[in-house]
Chain A
Amino acid sequence: MDRIVRLWRTMPRPARILLARSPLIVPQMLGVMLVTFVLVRLLPGDPALLMLGNMATPENIASLRQRLGLDRGIWEQFVRYVWNVLHGDLGISLFTSNPVSTDLMQRAPATLELISYAMILTVLIGVSVAVAAVVRKGGFIDILSRVYGLAAGAIPDFWVGLLLIYFLFYLGGIAPAPFGRLDAFIPPPGRITGFYTIDGLLTGNFAASWSALGRLVLPVLTLTIVNAGALMKMTKTTFADVYRSEFIRHQRASGLPERAITRSALRNSLPPIITMVGFLFGFLLGAAVLVETIFSWGGLGQYAVQAVINSDYPALQGFILVAAAFILIVYLVVDILYELADPRIQV
């Protein structure tokens, strides 16, 4: 026991944080599985009938009931479900007739590419506008940021997407057509990361990279316009508090250049910003559902919408499971980064 304690103390701080945080994901994932399991059990009627649709014969239903284990106790069913999920079996989609896990894996990169670029742009715009507004209080950017902060929370993302299509594609002719991730005549690049922009570069298929980048402009802009507002407002509050604090005043009195002062104030407002960025991943995933529908993106979001419209419950169940797992992993990373960014926190 003593040895373990001593070992723990000699470990570098990042390793301790990692070891202390990571195991939490196990009970959380069990909870997620319980929710997705219960969700389908909430359905009125026989899940087997719902899963097979109205065309099912009684024999089909009976055999599916047996395969799903519906004739057994509820806890046994849950254990079976967890077992299947752990082995990568999320069931068969009623609509595409593929295993749900295959469908999801195929579509995940499209959504991740969209969310990643949107996230980068959101952080860049949100944080820099907030910093500029605080540093030059009452200036043009400050006033602009107030109007934007108020408006951004009130604008529906799907409406912004449509307006951008109207102005930048139909009227302006600047943006490419809002149908999918690539121009029609360009074959997708070989799959390495699944991100078309990166795969195009890696395989030397620059045309595909360029086309994918063009197609990303409108959906990424949509997500950024709607989500940067919340991040900006939060950063502004935190950063303004730090910017007014004693140690910043002291730095200024000691004659540090403004750039260094801004940097150190930003460094000290980092932890809440990191938390907010974690939440933003959740928002972006939800918003991606809407934005993908508008831009025929073919990612997870559109898959989920199809699942809802077609009452494709295995697909919906799989999507929620994957979305929740993704969010939990993001929160875990955020927790770890938060503690890394703030050395005052005891591990």
Chain B
Amino acid sequence: MTETSVRNVLSQISKRPAAIIGLILLALQLLAIIFAPILATYSPVEADPINSLQPPSSDHWLGTDVSGMDVYSRIIFATRINLLISISAVAVAFVIGVPLGLLIGFYRGPVSSLAMRIFDFVQSFPVFVLGMALVSVMGQEIWNVAIVLAVLFIPMFARLIRAETLSLRERPFISAARCSGATDLSIMFRHVLPNALTPAIVQISISIGMAILLTAGLSFVGAGVRMPTPEWGLMVSAGAQQMILGIWWVSLFPGMAIVVSVLCFALLGDAAKDIMDPHTRNRR
């Protein structure tokens, strides 16, 4: 990236309050991840049955849950788990999905249409149901949740790249590259890929948000990570029984953490779309 384009992106960001809010929220989460041991006031996994279900106070800022664990400290530490799962799942899906989409877009034939049918098929299952089944079959480990989410997201990236590749491969500059003796491999990765990446890059941020929601949902029903791992969805479920009794803090705060985190990635995704897609930029 040249200096002018960096400056261009920065000026685009500064014009968008939504993007700035998104970046601030992202920075806050990164701080929570890096400085979790310093920011937390209690251990995130140690039970303290004497102090169970304490309302928010100066001792326990956001109260304690049913086994006496500090809600605030667990929320801080959970940022690590939730973002680790979601970001690594999306990263794996991107790294596998992008070349796959490039291949099936570039070489049309029975194999590539079969691949598309398989993607259609995987995507026709309700995501949450399929995720739940896969995690329960593979075993409820943090990494299995990430792997399952990656598998569910691969078709999304492959599809986006394929759609771009299909139109790019007919363009004159590809024929020009071919005439000058470029191999298929170098055409794909040097000429097609850089021009096809934009929608997939925009999708990264949105997918991370979706992954956070899915992880939390899986843990909430007991098909994701297990206690006492600090994870937002699991924390909401730990307070679900008490909500009926009016004990609101156990579920409320981790739920807010989910909303803030997903909102952050949604805002960043919107901003990325606006900045990288010249059509929407000029229309404003």
Chain A residues packing against B (C-beta within 8 Å):
28, 31, 35, 39-40, 42-43, 150-151, 153-159, 162-163, 165-166, 169-171, 177-178, 282-283, 285-287, 289-290, 293-294, 304-305, 308-309, 311, 313, 316, 319-320, 323-324, 327-328, 331
CA A282 to CA B130, docked complex, whole Å = 11
Chain B residues closer than 8 Å to A286, beta-carbon distance: 126-129
Task: Identify which of B138, B209, B251 gathers the most chain A CB atoms within 10 Å of its CB.
Answer: B251
B216 at the interface (CB under 8 A from A): yes
B194 to chain A, nearest CB (A): 28
B21 to chain A, nearest CB (A): 11
> Is B209 a contact partner of A153 (Cβ separation < 8 A)?
yes
> Is A170 a contact partner of B128 (Cβ separation < 8 A)?
no
B263 interface neighbour in A154, A294, A316, Cβ under 8 Å: A154
B243 interface neighbour in A31, A165, A305, A309, Cβ under 8 Å: A165
Closest 10 pairs between A and B when the two form their complex, measured CB to CB: A286-B128, A159-B255, A154-B262, A286-B126, A154-B263, A308-B136, A282-B126, A162-B243, A308-B223, A170-B246
Chain A residues closer than 8 Å to B188, beta-carbon distance: none
> Is B223 a contact partner of A153 (Cβ separation < 8 A)?
no
The digit string for B245-266, where 1 denotes a CB below 8 A from any CB of A, is 1101001100100110011001
> Is B223 a contact partner of A305 (Cβ separation < 8 A)?
yes
The digit string for B99-133, where 1 denotes a CB below 8 A from any CB of A, is 00000000000000000000001001111111011
Contacts A/B (CB < 8 Å), 20 sampled = A40-B137, A151-B263, A153-B266, A154-B209, A155-B262, A156-B217, A156-B220, A158-B217, A158-B237, A162-B239, A162-B240, A163-B255, A170-B245, A282-B127, A285-B129, A286-B129, A290-B220, A305-B222, A316-B136, A319-B129
Chain B residues closer than 8 Å to A155, beta-carbon distance: 259, 262
Chain B residues packing against A (C-beta within 8 Å):
121, 124-130, 132-134, 136-138, 209, 213, 216-217, 220-223, 233, 236-237, 239-240, 243-246, 248, 251-252, 255, 258-259, 262-263, 266-267
B175 to chain A, nearest CB (A): 32
CA A155 to CA B136, docked complex, whole Å = 25
CA A215 to CA B214, docked complex, whole Å = 27
CA A177 to CA B243, docked complex, whole Å = 12
CA A282 to CA B126, docked complex, whole Å = 5
Chain B residues closer than 8 Å to A313, beta-carbon distance: 137
Chain A residues closer than 8 Å to B220, beta-carbon distance: 156, 158, 290, 293
The total of Cβ contacts below 8 Å across the A-B interface reads 127
Task: Identify which of A40, A159, A327 gathers the most chain B CB atoms within 10 Å of its CB.
Answer: A159
Chain B residues closer than 8 Å to A28, beta-carbon distance: 121, 124
A265 to chain B, nearest CB (A): 21
**Smallest Cβ-Cβ distance to A31: which chain B residue:** B121
> Is A163 a contact partner of B221 (Cβ separation < 8 A)?
no
A222 to chain B, nearest CB (A): 13
**Smallest Cβ-Cβ distance to A179: which chain B residue:** B244
> Is B136 a contact partner of A178 (Cβ separation < 8 A)?
no
Chain A residues closer than 8 Å to B233, beta-carbon distance: 156, 158
**Smallest Cβ-Cβ distance to B210: which chain A residue:** A153
CA A305 to CA B217, docked complex, whole Å = 12
Given contact pairs A156-B259, A308-B136, A311-B136, A283 touches B126 in the complex (Cβ within 8 A): yes
> Is A166 a contact partner of B136 (Cβ separation < 8 A)?
no
> Is B243 a contact partner of A308 (Cβ separation < 8 A)?
no
A155 to chain B, nearest CB (A): 6
A263 to chain B, nearest CB (A): 28
CA A31 to CA B123, docked complex, whole Å = 13
Chain B residues closer than 8 Å to A324, beta-carbon distance: 124-125
Task: Identify which of B213, B216, B220, B263 gathers the most chain A CB atoms within 10 Å of its CB.
Answer: B220
